[in-house]
Amino acid sequence: MTRLRGRGYAAVNYPTGMNLGGDPSQALIHATTTGTFVVSLSSVDLGQGLKTVVAQCAAETLGLPFTNILVDTADTDTGPHCMGTFASRGTHRVGNAVIMAATEARAIMLDVAAEELEVDAADLETDGTGYIQVRGAEAKRIHITDLALAAHFTHGRTISGRGVFMKEKSEVVPETGEMDPDSCQAHACTVAEVEVDDETGVVEVLRMYSVYEIGRALHPAMATQQVEGGAWMGMSHALFEATEPYYPVRDHGPADFSEYLMPAAGDIPEQVSVLLERPAPTGPYGAKGIGEMTANAPIPAIANAIFDACGVRLDHMPFTPERVLRALDSLRGQDLSAHG
C-alpha cells in the first residue's frame, strides 16, 4: 500500500448577472419616527449574507450607523420587484438599487435637517455616528432620531427613496459577434493537495488554497466564508455526492439524507483563502458577485491533484474509491501492455 500525494490547480472566471430582456431589481427605503431606515426588498437572502451587505450599502450611502438600518425582505406580493436570487446577481443588482434609494432619501434627510438647523443643505454632512452637522461647525448638529421625529410631526415629510438598477439587454453585433452579456466578471484560482491510497482508492483532500478577485469585498469575513463554504461544496461534488449512482440498479441510490454522502467535519481540509480587490466600475462600491463560482474551481483542482498523485485522469464525478481503483487497474494494464 502506498499513499501518493499530488497537487492540482484550476482557475475560473464567472459573470455577474445575466442577459435577458433586462435584469432589474428595485428597492424602497423610508425612515421610521425613531430614525431607523427600513429597506424594503423582494430579494431573498439564501444565507449568503445579502441582508447584511444591503444594510452596509444603505448605511454607507446615508452616512448613518449600520445599526440604524433594518432590511425587510417581505415577499413578491408586497415588496418592490426583483428578478430573483440567482446568477450571482444579488449583491450587485440589489446593492446598486439600495444605493440609489438611499441617495434619494439622504437628500430629503439633509433638506429637513437644513430646515431644523436653519442652514443651507449643501453645508451639511453626516458624521457616521447618527448626527447631521454643519460642515466646519460641528457643534451645530441634530441627531437622526430627533430629525426623524421633526420630519414626521413638524414638517409632515417622509424621508424616503426609491431605486431600481437594471442591466439592459445586450444584443449581438452581427458584424463582429461582440456583446456585453454581463456587468462584470470575478476571477479565482484554487490549489488542492490530496493523498490517494492506491490500495483502497480513497482520496483525502489535505489542503485547499483559494485566491478570489471579487471587485471589492463589502464584508471580508462573509466573503471568506462564501469562498470556504463553496470549496466544501466543490469537494463534496468531487468526492461524495451522487444522486444517480453508477451501480447497475437505482435501488443502490440514497433514499434520504442519512444515506446521501457529504463531507463531515473530519473530512474538511485545511483552507487558506485570499481576497484580491479590483473594484468594478458598475458594482456597488466596486463589488462583484461570487455566490456560485466558489464551488467551481475546487472540482477540477482535485481532479488534477489526483492525476498528479497517481497518474489517472478521472472525468466522471464523484471520484469514488471504486473509480480510482478501476482507473489504476487500467493504467497498470496499459503499462504491462507497453512493456509486454
Which positions are catalytic? 292
CA dihedral (297, 302, 308, 313) positive or negative? negative
Residues 254/324, Cβ–Cβ less than 8 Å: no
Distances (CA, A) of 68 to 163, 174, 312: 19, 50, 56
Distance CA 219, CA 194 (A): 31
Distance CA 147, CA 62 (A): 14
Distance CA 19, CA 239 (A): 33
Assigned C-alpha cell, 280: 468594478
**Collapsed DSSP state (helix, strand, coil) of residue 159:** coil
Assigned C-alpha cell, 100: 440609489
Give the position of cell 463531507: 263
Residue 46: CB atoms within 10 A of its CB come to 11
Distance CA 11, CA 15 (A): 14
Structure-derived torsion over alpha carbons of residues 295, 223, 286, 100, reported in degrees to the nearest 10: 100
Give the position of cell 453508477: 246
